[in-house]
Amino acid sequence: MGTFGKIRRARVRREICVACGCCVPVCPKKAISVFKGMYAQVQEAACVGCGKCAGECPASAITVEALSGEGCV
Ligand code: SF4
Ligand code: SF4
């Protein structure tokens, strides 16, 4: 058990996101984009949960969370 093998993904809280786009260029997987100038969204299949986007967000709108129910990868 422990944290080994946890799959992590970034999650955007849309109500907080100000659609500044600061998170977009720092993502090594190009997994985050700003949807129609309204809020950022994460492509879960591409995100590796590195947290770089969260570190750039001036609004603290991004959290990196462990997905539940996943095994080791
Ligand atoms: S956690 Fe990393 S891989 Fe996922 S969207 Fe943010 S910068 Fe991209
Ligand atoms: S950096 Fe934060 S506020 Fe800016 S678009 Fe990304 S999630 Fe939204």
Model confidence at 3, pLDDT cuts 50, 70, 90, reads low
Which domains, and CATH codes, for the chain? 8-66 (3.30.70.20)
HSE-up of residue 2 (Cα within 13 Å, Cβ side):
1
Closest ligand 2 atom, residue 22 Cα? 1
pLDDT of residue 29: 98
Phi-psi region of 65 (alpha: psi -120 to 50; beta: other; left: phi over 0): beta
* pLDDT over threshold 60, residue 72: no
Number of neighbours of residue 27 by Cβ within 10 angstroms: 21
Bridge-based pairing of strands 8-12 and 62-66 is antiparallel
17 in contact with ligand 2, CB cutoff 6 A: yes
* pLDDT over threshold 90, residue 69: no
The separation between the first and the last C-alpha atoms of the chain, rounded to the nearest angstrom, is 13
Q: What is the pLDDT of residues 17-61, one digit of tens each?
A: 999 999 999 999 999 999 999 999 999 999 999 999 999 999 999
Ligand nearest to the CA of 58: 2
12 in contact with ligand 1, CB cutoff 6 A: no
pLDDT of residue 4: 61
